[in-house]
Amino acid sequence: MLEKIKNLLSQISSFNVSSADDLESFRLRFLSKKGMISVLFDDFRNVPAQEKKEIGMKLNELKQAAMDAYNRMKDQLQQSDDVKTENDLTRPANPFPSGSRHPISIVRKEIIDIFSRIGFTVSEGPEIEDDNHVFTKLNFAPEHPARDMQDTFYISRISPEDSNPGDILLRTHTSSVQVRVMENQKPPIRTISPGRVFRNEAISARAHCIFHQIEGLYIDENVSYADLRQTLLFFARELFGKETRIRLRPSYFPFTEPSAEMDVSCRICGGKGCNVCKYTGWLELLGCGMVHPNVLEACNIDSNKYTGFAFGMGIERAAMLKYQVNDLRLYFENDLRFLDQFKASF
Ligand code: PHE
């Protein structure tokens, strides 16, 4: 009996496992009900009484040794399994949270895409401008209130009392870019100017001191008000859907004559009236008009030969209408809970 125990002990210590099958055959061989150790325990009945104490102890030691070996080999297998899965090149990668585009970028890109399809180029210009490009050449009278400190951030003002074409300021609209295009290019001109603009306003849900605009300009021979209307109808339908209608209300801008403001039919109620459109069926989107002859002349374009139209809109305004987000401040706070909602949009 002692011989058998010794023999089994040496078998156990020299047993090697390299797979779960090996481990199972170890268990069957030594530890199962019909395994070799159980057989010895059965034989224990026949051991003479005076040897029972010693052999009993050895048997228990054998069983313990087999169980220890089993657990140790099981741990080893588990560890090498972990290593294998770490190196498994076919496993899918850990999920990588993807970012999202800012809603203003999404809408800006969409508007640029729409106008690119009908031949408009994109032009950009400086955010820090002079009075000449922002006001004077756009036919603003010297005493026009928009030049006032209340609205405009001045960087340097040559004479605090009177406006001066040399005054340096933050542009209040991107019409200044169109002046630069007209100064440098000959008609036909078809361009849109996206960019940041600055106005000295208290920040609230409806106003901000920084926002984004896209302004458009089309100058050629025989450009008519009908061209303006048709271009804007095409644009509104592309941006808000084929069913969209537009209406033009008379308005005033120094640089256009006639001038108008354009409303689009409310997408929520389809024009029937709801709380988004304040029960009017219409939402105001942009300003537009025929370029004033004084503006053309100021940029050395012959106003007897050429006519043109211009329009301008706030991108935040377009995004508000598109996404029904009614607080402007959300567009500037970069709160991920807000931005994450635009993941699905390209
Ligand atoms: N520049 C005007 C604004 O900032 C918008 C506009 C552009 C209106 C062109 C008419 C024509 O509000």
Question: Could you read off the pLDDT of 15-37 as tens digits, one per residue?
Answer: 888 888 989 999 999 999 999 99
Distance of alpha carbon 70 from alpha carbon 63, whole angstroms: 11
Distance of alpha carbon 61 from alpha carbon 6, whole angstroms: 11
- Give pLDDT, residue 85: 67
Distance of alpha carbon 175 from alpha carbon 180, whole angstroms: 9
List alpha helices for the chain, DSSP H. Answer: 2-13, 20-26, 36-43, 52-86, 103-117, 131-134, 175-184, 225-240, 293-298, 315-323, 330-333, 336-339
The secondary structure of residue 145, as a DSSP letter, is G
Report long-range pairs for 341-344 (Cβ below 8 Å, ≥24 apart): 341/100, 342/100, 342/101, 342/102, 342/103, 342/106, 343/98, 343/100
Q: What residue has token string 């009075």?
A: 131
HSE-up of residue 205 (Cα within 13 Å, Cβ side) = 4
- Give pLDDT, residue 164: 77
- Give pLDDT, residue 254: 94
Token output for 211: 């926002």
- Give pLDDT, residue 160: 65
- Give pLDDT, residue 176: 96
Distance of alpha carbon 52 from alpha carbon 57, whole angstroms: 8
* Cis omega (within 30 of 0) for bond into 188: yes
Distance of alpha carbon 238 from alpha carbon 182, whole angstroms: 27
Confidence of residue 184 (pLDDT cuts 50, 70, 90): very high
CA-closest candidate to residue 158, choices 197, 132, 139:
132
CA–CA distances in Å: residue 299 to residues 120, 141, 147, 294, 296: 20, 17, 20, 9, 5
- Give pLDDT, residue 258: 97
HSE-up of residue 9 (Cα within 13 Å, Cβ side) = 13
CA of 267 to the centre of ligand 1 (A): 24
Identify any residues that bridge with 253 across adjacent strands, giving them in sequence order.
256
pLDDT exceeds cutoff 80 at 77: yes
Query: Whose alpha carbon is nearest atom 5 of ligand 1?
Result: 312
CA–CA distances in Å: residue 300 to residues 129, 174, 293: 20, 20, 11
- Give pLDDT, residue 111: 97
pLDDT exceeds cutoff 90 at 298: yes
Q: Which atom of ligand 1 is nearest to the CA of 217?
A: 9
- Give pLDDT, residue 302: 97
Distance of alpha carbon 56 from alpha carbon 79, whole angstroms: 35
Region 30-56 average pLDDT: 90
CA-closest candidate to residue 241, choices 267, 271, 263:
267
What is the pairing mode between strands 168-170 and 256-265? unpaired
HSE-up of residue 181 (Cα within 13 Å, Cβ side) = 24
- Give pLDDT, residue 135: 94
| Range from 20-24, 87-91, 158-162, 164-168 that averages highest in pLDDT | 20-24
- Give pLDDT, residue 300: 95
- Give pLDDT, residue 25: 92
175 lines ligand 1 (CB under 6 A): yes
CA of 306 to the centre of ligand 1 (A): 20
Region 173-193 average pLDDT: 96
Q: Which atom of ligand 1 is nearest to the CA of 313?
A: 5
pLDDT exceeds cutoff 80 at 150: no
pLDDT exceeds cutoff 60 at 346: no
CA of 148 to the centre of ligand 1 (A): 17
pLDDT exceeds cutoff 60 at 278: yes
Query: Whose alpha carbon is nearest atom 7 of ligand 1?
Result: 312
Confidence of residue 96 (pLDDT cuts 50, 70, 90): confident
* The residue type at 148: D
Q: What are phi and psi of 189, to 5 degrees?
A: -120, 130
pLDDT exceeds cutoff 70 at 109: yes
Region 207-218 average pLDDT: 94
CA of 163 to the centre of ligand 1 (A): 20
Across the chain, mean pLDDT equals 90
331 lines ligand 1 (CB under 6 A): no
216 lines ligand 1 (CB under 6 A): no
311 lines ligand 1 (CB under 6 A): yes
| End-to-end C-alpha distance for the chain, whole angstroms | 79
Give me the percent of the chain exceeding a pLDDT of 90: 60
Angle at 73 between CA 69 and CA 78, to 5 degrees: 150
